[in-house]
Structure 1
């Protein structure tokens, strides 16, 4: 018996491998089965992820290469809400110091919604189905007033971000840095982003409620959202959290007397780039000069350097949520950098206010719903076009009871859960704690680069992992990344308590 059991197991393993290889040779259409053929909806969705075979730089067509499901509407809805809010925040941050009014903000947000819809369809929905949607670089928002004060030009800033992003994508630097990041470092980064984001949204909701002298509304909305989220978790319907929480939060606030009215009517923005870059129209800045590019150079380097931890967190969330044998449909970091860079370049030339990054309000709900990128991307583009032309959904999306709960349950709470999941096993808690500590000191980019260096050197975290790394992976590349990032931050005055090295940024 002892002599025959090993060959039997080997034959069984080979048969399973052969069957898996034969299955992979079949097309998506050949392997697709109706949902009625499965015991549960979750089994059907997982099977869809496992049979997809996305093609890079070649056409990926609906129904031939992927299908639309009800679950795709949820990340699309969350993404549209997030886009309106984030682009509005960037446009408003620029508008204040430049003396531009609300009309400029509203029109540019509408313009950006149409721009992003075009690039979503071309890239994530058609030729790069493993590229996450090119969203908005939220961590840059606090830096924009410094950029404006230094005389930075939005077009110059956007073009440099696009150029540096393409260089990183072509060299595959993004995926390389992701591979150098351990589970502890990544988990700590997710915990920090999730916790800080949740706290900020709760504070914003209470600040809004206090401004209308109805603080109790914020408590009621958050309390009911917690109960709803717990019930959805219990019923294994967490993918419905965003629409139901938005509906619940908005309904409760309105029923308790919170003021709300639709103000933004149907319309189209000015589609002429020369209008946006005129000296007396749009941004009222004219075209950038060489000096404009020099001024924003440090910020552009910092913006692209901050992409890696952002992209990594989104990719890891997919890995945690998706079943086995779905590597081919997971977000590709380098492809995402490519599409984001191209979208940034053309968006800046056209006159948009957006500075791009991986679209978190899309990819996180999509991962929870166990859906691949392309179908939800097409729906997101459609929703963005509807919101831009119709106008009224923009008012609803930025209403605080809707906005805050959407971001909390759709992005930040899932990030917390993913971070805790990644730090459950092995010697990951030390690295996670240092990431949180150092991120709180400066920002997530500083925390990620410093902790990656310490972790790879073996000073914290898993010593075995560190000993298996090459010299290049252990300290040369992490060291270069930390020095470059810290140097740029020191140059523009982002290190707390330390004046900017470059006088013009002081």
Structure 2
């Protein structure tokens, strides 16, 4: 066999029978893959499907339905659009994501690009975006263009290299803790709505016991499907109200319908002033990508075995993919705001599976959910949603953050990024702590000396000042009025 043949996945891989355990087999699969960027990667030739791939696929589908629904509903509430609009647009977005990008890009063309998901942290800003005169298409196009520029210039990977383990670990700890407490609060609020608050406690304590047992037997990758079944089963058994309402069907696929003046969004096509209004929010959204994407890649590094660098998520390629998906979705009529797909990559890393096989299964499940309709109702049911997010995303983030802050002076940087994130938001906390950490004021002082002037203070300083200006302009600093509104009043 030639040297070229020896370097292929087919030549390197071994059957399951050649290994003493399933874990060893999965590790070898990761080490054997030779993904090709922006070239065809074919199932069974360049990678295989395993039962573990269904775990991130199910988690990603649940998360996608929930997060897109949250974003579209936030826009619809501000624009006075009915609930039926939200359901139809979410179904439309599922088909766009599944067919055009999840399967085509991450499944075949670039297995190093994580799936293009949903930008959850931007949801609270949507009322302000609409109040400022923003247009969903203008916002999406500007995010896509700015993200593509950052991706092709490799700005995302640069910012990732300038972020130390302490800063990244602290960010993961903060996001994990805030996510868990938020979902617990939502679960109790849901149960209190029909005077059964004890149901939330039962579901949560049962989830904790289940998760601990799965950790004990080293099958944590089953947490999402088992947790979802457990939450749904307990809630049904104890009498929680639930009914299927979304019937099978096909959403309207005509962009002219979605961007009509009397149909779809009822906004027409955006004009110049719409792009000006959304510019600060688009800059902030793309700035949020770097810490988000970095956290996802680091989570892979923590869970994957050694010698698997070739299958790790590429931050710049993921940015380019997310940007292309954002531009396409916005032009067609979707309301999603894109980011790296956390509810896919985190469970996939736990299950020790590469990106492409699970991506194809995710695309299949998204199409089924969009056309069938009924799975959407179950995925957004509060106990299923909350438990899936807790065990599939937020608890693993906490664990990863703790692992990254165990050695050296990383705890100093972690503490500062948590403190400053709680003061404003994770973007502020990340950018400020990267600057302080690289200057050597906190964390490992020797690390900063090896970065040079550009890495120590020029790039972190410029990024911090730009983000502060944007956040001050749209009123994200506590106690301070939005500077943009002040300028409008003066003018």
Q: What is the match of residue 145 of structure 2?
A: 163
- Give the alignment of 1:15-414 within 5 angstroms: 25-118=6-99, 119-414=101-396
Residue pair 2:6, 2:12 contacting (<8 A) in 1 also:
no
Q: What is the match of residue 478 of structure 2?
A: 496
Q: Which runs of 5+ in 2 are unaligned?
A: none
Q: Give how far 1:283 is off.
A: 0.1
Q: Give how far 1:23 is off.
A: 9.9
Q: Give how far 1:97 is off.
A: 1.2
Secondary structure at 2:483 match in 1: coil
Give the count of matched residue pairs.
486
Q: In 1, Cα distance between the equivalents of 2:59 and 2:229?
A: 12
Q: In 2, Cα distance between the equivalents of 1:194 and 1:457?
A: 27
Question: Which string of whole-angstrom CA distances, capped at 9 and with x for unpartnered residues, describes residues 191-247 of structure 1?
Answer: 000000000000000000000110011000000000000000000000000000000
Q: Find out whether 1:457 has 2:443 as its counterpart.
A: no
Q: Give how far 1:33 is off.
A: 1.5
Secondary structure at 1:306 match in 2: helix
Q: In 2, Cα distance between the equivalents of 1:309 and 1:127?
A: 25
Residue pair 2:5, 2:11 contacting (<8 A) in 1 also:
no
Q: In 1, Cα distance between the equivalents of 2:362 and 2:415?
A: 36
- Give the alignment of 1:404-443 within 5 angstroms: 404-443=386-425
Residue pair 1:184, 1:428 contacting (<8 A) in 2 also:
yes
Residue pair 2:114, 2:340 contacting (<8 A) in 1 also:
yes
Residue pair 1:74, 1:239 contacting (<8 A) in 2 also:
yes
Q: What is the match of residue 17 of structure 1?
A: none
Secondary structure at 1:323 match in 2: coil
TM-score computed with the length of structure 2 as normaliser: 0.98
Residue pair 1:136, 1:355 contacting (<8 A) in 2 also:
yes
Residue pair 1:24, 1:51 contacting (<8 A) in 2 also:
no
Q: In 2, Cα distance between the equivalents of 1:24 and 1:248?
A: 47
Secondary structure at 2:443 match in 1: coil
Larger radius of gyration: 1
Q: In 1, Cα distance between the equivalents of 2:150 and 2:343?
A: 24
Q: Give how far 1:249 is off.
A: 0.6
Q: Give how far 1:26 is off.
A: 2.3
Question: Which string of whole-angstrom CA distances, capped at 9 and with x for unpartnered residues, describes residues 365-412 of structure 1?
Answer: 000000000000000000000000000000000001100000000000
Question: Which string of whole-angstrom CA distances, capped at 9 and with x for unpartnered residues, describes residues 392-443 of structure 1?
Answer: 0000000011000000000000000000000001110010000000000111
Q: In 1, Cα distance between the equivalents of 2:61 and 2:108?
A: 19
Q: Give how far 1:469 is off.
A: 1.7
Give the direction of change, closer, same or farther, for the CA distance of 1:23–1:459 in structure 2 (3 Å limit).
Answer: farther
Q: In 2, Cα distance between the equivalents of 1:85 and 1:140?
A: 14
Question: Which string of whole-angstrom CA distances, capped at 9 and with x for unpartnered residues, describes residues 49-77 of structure 1?
Answer: 00100001100000000000000000000
Q: In 2, Cα distance between the equivalents of 1:39 and 1:487?
A: 57
Q: Give how far 1:128 is off.
A: 1.1
Secondary structure at 1:502 match in 2: helix
**Further displaced range: 466-475 or 183-192:** 466-475
| Aligned-residue CA RMSD (Å) | 1.2
Question: Which string of whole-angstrom CA distances, capped at 9 and with x for unpartnered residues, describes residues 323-360 of structure 1?
Answer: 00000100000000010000000000000010000000
